[in-house]
């Protein structure tokens, strides 16, 4: 059975169709990239899945449960993790405490009034940090971290409740090329180990073509292409609406001029 099945999703804002009849599936262990021009409906699609928006039509099945109408918190509890385009961490807390917060919430203890938060689930948190190579920075405050490291902390936080599905909104935005490749490589390795399904949006075609197992292309709220990176790259329609002539990303990723 598919991890995530999105069927016939539609959403309008003030008469403008932001999302029109979008359907796709996502299997465990798969990294599915969603690309398309700005305003194509990527964010809307994302937000319909994570509960920030309620679609007008359609359903979002996650391991057999319909997510439509559930609050973002409830969806998180079902095992959907997410990272933000612009990092969102708790700046006044240490790296370890950031992960501990996710664990405290996972164990439903965020309203406990007596225990000392900084001592709860510490080992678990350090273990997660180990997996994203941030163990050595566990005691540093998040507001002094480098941007690339913050992204790693976000990944550790997103993994804290053992999600089965990870939603990553432009995970490498604002990072240097080398860090981009490293972060997505790390993500691919972790989700491979744990068999997590990943849906991500991305503007950096180098990252997309290097890591995605499959790509869907959105344009004006509709899916215009879907398939392997090679197939999408060669698709003339995709080249026209999105990729262009290919002068702005890695040569080997350019569409083949046949």
Partner 1 sequence: MLEVRGLHTHYGRAEILSDVSLAVGRGEVAALLGRNGAGKSTTLKSIMGLVRVSKGEILFAGQSIRHRRPFEICRSGLGYVPEDRRIFTDLTVEENLDVARQPPRADAPTWTLERIFELFPNLAERRGSSARAMSGGEQQMLTVARTLMGNPRAILLDEPSEGLAPVIVEQMARTLQELKSAGVTVLLSEQNLHFAGLIATQAIIIEKGRIRYAGAMEAIAKDEALHAAYLTV
Partner 2 sequence: MSFYFAQFLTGLASASSLFLVASGLSIIFGVTRVVNFAHGSFYMLGAFIAYSLVTSLPPGPFWFWGGVILAALTVGVVGVIMEILVLRRIYQAPELFQLVATFGVVLLLKDVALWTWGPEDKLGPRAPGFDGAIDIFGSRVPEYDLVVIVVGFVVLAGLWLLFSRTRWGALVRAATEDREMLGALGINQALLFTGVFFLGSVLAGLGGAMQLPRASVSHHMDLAIIATVFVVVVVGGMGSIVGAFLASVIISELNAFGILIFPQITLVLMFLVMAVVLVIRPWGILGRPEDETAGEEYEHQSLSWLPSRAARLAMAGVVGVLLLLPFVVQEFYLVLMTEVFILALFAASLHFIMGNGGMISFGHAAYFGLGAYGGATLLLYGDTPMLLAIALAPFVAALGAAVFGWFCVRLSGVYMAMLSLAFAQIVWSIVFQSSGITGGEDGLVGVWPAEWASERQVFYYLTLAVTLGGILALWRMLFSPFGYSLRAGRDSPRRVEAIGIGFRTHKWLAFVIAGTFAGLAGGLYGFAKGIVTPTTLDIPRSIDALMMVLLGGVQTLVGPLVGAFAFVVLEDRLLAFQYWRAIFGLIIIGICIAMPEGIVGSTRSFLTRRGLVSSGR
**For binding to partner 2 (CB under 8 A), which residues are involved?**
72-73, 76-77, 82, 84, 86, 88-94, 97, 101-102, 104-106, 109-118, 120, 139-141, 143, 157, 160-161
| CB-based contact 29:192 (threshold 8 Å) | yes
Nearest-approach distance from CB 202 to partner 2, in angstroms? 19
Interacting partner of 230 out of partner 2, partner 1, none (Cβ under 5 to 8 A depending on kind)? none
Residue number, 20 or 94, with CB nearest to partner 2: 94
Give the pair of three-digit tokens for residue 43: 């964010």
Output the CA angle 55-214-174, nearest 5 degrees: 75
> What residue 95 binds from partner 2, partner 1, none (CB within 5 to 8 A, per partner kind)?
none
72, interface contact from partner 2, partner 1, none, CB < 5-8 Å by kind: partner 2
Distance, CA of 64 to CA of 231 (rounded, Å): 30
Residue 246's binding partner, choosing from partner 1, partner 2, none, with beta-carbon cut-off 5 to 8 A by kind? Answer: partner 1
Q: State the binding partner of 243 from partner 1, partner 2, none, CB within 5 to 8 A by kind.
A: partner 1
CB of 96 to partner 2, least distance (A): 11
Q: Which residues of 51-61 are buried (b: 16+ CB within 10 A; e: fewer)?
A: bebebeebebb
Taking the complex as a whole, the smallest distance from the CB of residue 43 to partner 2 amounts, in Å, to 14
Nearer to partner 2, 133 or 143 (CB): 143
Long-range contacts of 106-111 (CB under 8 A, 24+ apart): 106/160, 106/161
Given phi > 0 = left and psi -120 to 50 = alpha, else beta, which region is 33?
A: beta
CA atoms 195, 51, 203, 236: torsion sign: positive
For the bound state, the minimum distance from the C-beta of residue 87 to partner 1, rounded and expressed in Å, comes to 11
User: Residue 181 Cβ, how far from partner 1 at the closest point, in Å?
Assistant: 8
Radius of gyration of the CA atoms of the chain, in A: 19
Q: Which residues bind partner 1 (CB under 8 A)?
A: 36-39, 144, 146-148, 170, 173-179, 203, 205-206, 240-250
Cα–Cα distance between 167 and 50 in angstroms, integer?
8
Nearer to partner 2, 101 or 205 (CB): 101
Compute the least distance from the CB of residue 93 to partner 1, in Å: 18
Contact partner at residue 188 from partner 2, partner 1, none, CB < 5 to 8 Å by partner kind: none
Which residue, 75 or 205, has its beta carbon nearer to partner 2?
Answer: 75
Q: Give the rounded distance of the alpha carbon of 165 from its chain centre.
A: 9
In whole angstroms, give the CA distance from residue 110 to residue 112: 6
């Amino acid at each position: 059975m598919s991890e995530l099945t999105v069927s016939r999703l539609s959403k309008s804002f003030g008469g403008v169709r932001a999302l029109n009849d979008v359907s796709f599936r996502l299997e465990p262990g798969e990294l599915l990239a969603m690309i398309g021009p700005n305003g194509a409906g990527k964010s809307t699609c994302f937000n319909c899945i994570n509960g920030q928006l309620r679609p007008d039509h359609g359903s979002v099945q996650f391991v057999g449960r319909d997510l439509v109408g559930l609050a973002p918190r409830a969806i998180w509890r079902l095992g959907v993790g997410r990272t933000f385009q612009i990092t969102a961490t708790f700046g006044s807390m240490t790296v370890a405490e950031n992960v501990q917060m996710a664990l405290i919430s996972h164990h439903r203890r965020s309203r406990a009034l007596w225990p000392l938060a900084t001592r709860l689930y510490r080992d678990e948190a350090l273990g997660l940090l180990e997996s994203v190579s941030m163990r050595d920075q566990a005691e540093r405050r998040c507001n002094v971290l480098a941007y690339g490291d913050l992204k790693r902390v976000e990944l550790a936080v997103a993994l804290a409740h053992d999600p089965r599905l990870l939603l990553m909104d432009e995970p490498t935005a604002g990072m240097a090329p080398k860090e981009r490749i490293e972060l997505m490589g790390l993500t691919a390795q972790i989700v491979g180990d744990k068999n997590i399904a990943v849906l991500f949006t991305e503007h950096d075609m180098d990252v997309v073509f290097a890591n995605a197992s499959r790509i869907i292309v959105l344009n004006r709220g509709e899916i215009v292409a879907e398939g392997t990176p090679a197939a999408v790259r060669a698709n003339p329609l995709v080249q026209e609406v999105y990729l262009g002539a290919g002068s702005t990303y890695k040569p080997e990723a350019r569409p083949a001029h046949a």
